[in-house]
A and B are shown apart, each in its own frame.
Chain A
Amino acid sequence: MTDNPVILDVAGLAKHFTLRGPFGRVRRVVRAIDGVSFQVRRGETLGIVGESGSGKSTIGKCLVGIHEPDAGDLLFNDSSLLGLARRDRRRVARQLQYVYQDPGASLDPRWKVGRLLEEPLVIHADHGAAERRELVRAILGAVKLPDAFLDRYPHELSGGQQRRVGLARILTLNPSLIILDEPTSGLDVSVQAAVINLFKEMKAAFDLTYIFISHDLSVVRILCDRVAVMYAGRIVEIGDVEQVFEDPRHPYTRMLLNAVPRIGRPGARREIGGAGDIPAGEEVAGAGCPFQPRCAERLPRCAVDEPLPENLADGRGVACHAVAAP
């Protein structure tokens, strides 16, 4: 896997949201993501984990062009995604797709499944009508839904079925990189398992690369090869899933993993540590490590000097003064 070519190279990506008061006065600037860099190799699954508000979804939305990043660059198959003309952007967009957290909400409630599945093909029109219907049937079969579903409306489907349709809609375009945004949240555990298996099967069948955005660490562990841990818009630790989960180095990663409740472990009341909330982006801008107010291992320099990701001997990247210079 590590020898596969890099399909996506994210370099120093930043996206700030400006909240404006009356008369366009800037009320505050939220740094949703701030200087995020990582690479994804063809065929791997990269997990992105973090608390709500850590900027996970913003990364995904920048990748597919829903948000325009403020800084940094996105290289997809060695060509930049930014500053493209609309037409070029759409050509690239075929290969890079985004699956929403709630695929039911990502389907127009007034359109039938058949028409919804055909739509991506119509947008990127290079098929005849008959060919489109053929493709749609094939894809629907691939996600294991019967043809009868073509005539149903999204609200007539269950949560798991909606996710299948959402994924099928994307797969009709034959993409190479899919961003899955919280694809298992809000599902029964049994349905979750089915959906995860579906993702695995689709990955093998369509030769896909995934970016898997989730806060469900157990699912990330099952599905992902590598994982990036995000905090306040920055990646604090990134590495192989086994390394990160077995031997977390960044204090935040340790805290996050400790917070996972596990059945059968006595004394469920463990010290999670690091009380407090995630700071909103603008409060931490420029002033040291964003995690230091909650950190148990903070050093004097953490308050003034923001740690940058550094590669450790085992290949993972960690952004922490306490880890880099013990």
Chain B
Amino acid sequence: MARGGLLAEYRRAWVKLVRDPSSAIGMVILTALVLSAVLAPVLATHPQDVWDVHTAERLRPPSADHYFGTDRLGSDIYSRILFGARSTIFVAIVAIVASLAIGVPIGLIAGWSGGLLGNILMRFSDIFLAVPQIVLAIAIAQTFGPSIENVILALSATYWPWFTRLVYAEVRSLKNEIFIESLVGLGASTPRIVVLHVLPNVMSPIIIRSSIGMGFTILTAATLSFLGLGAQPPDPEWGRMISESREYLPFAWWYAAAPGIAIFLVVMGFNLLGDGLRDVLDPRLRRKVEK
């Protein structure tokens, strides 16, 4: 039985996470991502190359001066990747926080009230789920014009129903728990029960979903940029960089490889961390492991 308060539980979870090889790898990757975003001006060998153009040095292969080679305008790809981490993190965090802000309250309300209101809210979120996410995101990005902000808008608008469904299902089953029912008997108000008792008890699945959602969001954001619906040049966006490299493949292989590997590593990092979090935070799975 490893239940208890939120803080105690997360402290235990942290210890387990660090000891679990795959989630440790995930955390290392994500720490590297955050560090490269924060320290980009320091780590970059050619920080000015985000904007500067050196046509004389275009499409140089990787070398001691340009670790990942140069792109079609002669800019240092290594430096651009570092700065690209910033927009990647920015997009993922804002989109997930916005999805949480929309999806969790709707899930709580729908799950708690059930009945007609719950059904209306869930069918409403089903509408968003029924349309393939990438198609809806393309439609939104195209309607409002290509920009990072609209990518975030598209991602938030399409990802929140996942949180709604998750929270809805958890709340439905929690509502049958005796400690929730007893609060009704005790005279507790609905907001009190939902915010102070229900929400903390659905935190773990929300955190797991958020981590996996970050990876997913980054992938979709890169896809939209690749299609030209996201960041505009000269922004150093990873998906955008791969899109630019198409004309020079297979000759300039490094041009696509560097941002491709960066996207792959970051998405894998979030997925590994998400899986690790699921192992340590999800009590149902944990019980199975302990048996």
Which chain A residues have a beta carbon within 8 Å of chain B's beta carbons?
A: 61, 64-66, 89-90, 93-94, 97-98, 100, 102, 105-112, 119-120, 123-124, 153, 155-156, 169
Contact = CB atoms under 8 A, between A and B. Distances in A.
B185 A66 contact: yes
Interface stretch (B103-111, B187-195, B274-282): B187-195
A58 to B, nearest CB: 13
Interface centre among B1, B185, B189, B200 (most CB of A within 10 A): B185
Given A66-B181, A98-B182, A102-B178, A109 B4 contact: yes
B185 A98 contact: yes
Contact of A105 (B5, B177, B185, B200): B177
A119 B177 CA distance: 18
Nearest to A99: B182
B197 A108 contact: yes
A40 B188 CA distance: 26
A107 B179 contact: yes
Interface centre among A90, A93, A102, A106 (most CB of B within 10 A): A106
A123 B189 CA distance: 8
B249 interface: no
Contacts of B178: 100, 102, 105-106
B45 interface: no
A23 B118 CA distance: 15
Contacts of A112: 5
Contacts of A65: 184-185
Interface string B184-226: 1111110010000100110000000000000000000000000
Interface residues of B, number: 22
B5 A90 contact: no
B3 interface: yes
Contacts of A123: 186-189, 192
A89 B185 contact: no
Given A153-B3, A153-B5, A155-B1, A108 B186 contact: no
Given A65-B185, A123-B187, 15 more contacts: A66-B184, A89-B187, A93-B187, A100-B178, A102-B178, A106-B179, A108-B201, A109-B3, A110-B5, A119-B188, A120-B187, A123-B186, A123-B192, A153-B3, A153-B4
Contacts of B177: 105
A112 B9 CA distance: 13
Contacts of B192: 123
The binding surface of chain A is classed by DSSP as: loop
Nearest to B177: A105
A14 B181 CA distance: 20
Contact of A155 (B3, B184, B188, B201): B3
B257 interface: no
Interface string B1-39: 101111011000000000000000000000000000000
Contacts of A109: 3-4, 179, 201
The binding surface of chain B is classed by DSSP as: helix
Contact of B5 (A64, A100, A106, A111): A111
A94 B187 contact: yes
A110 B187 contact: no
Contacts of B3: 109-110, 153, 155
A67 to B, nearest CB: 10
Contacts of A111: 5
Interface centre among B8, B184, B186, B192 (most CB of A within 10 A): B186
A109 B202 CA distance: 12
A84 to B, nearest CB: 12
B186 A120 contact: yes
A108 B4 CA distance: 9
Nearest to B9: A110
Contact of B4 (A64, A105, A110): A110
A97 B200 CA distance: 25
Contacts of A106: 178-179, 181-182
A153 B9 CA distance: 11
B118 to A, nearest CB: 14
Contacts of A100: 178, 182
Nearest to A179: B185
A56 to B, nearest CB: 16
B186 A93 contact: yes
14 contacts: A66-B181, A97-B185, A97-B186, A105-B179, A108-B197, A109-B201, A110-B5, A110-B200, A110-B201, A120-B186, A123-B188, A155-B1, A156-B4, A169-B186
A109 B9 CA distance: 11
A106 B183 CA distance: 8
B66 to A, nearest CB: 53
A155 B179 CA distance: 13
Nearest to B182: A106
A109 B186 CA distance: 17
Question: Which A-B residue pairs are the 4 nearest by beta carbons?
Answer: A106-B182, A90-B187, A105-B178, A93-B187
A239 B8 CA distance: 51
Given A102-B178, A105-B179, A109-B179, A155 B186 contact: no
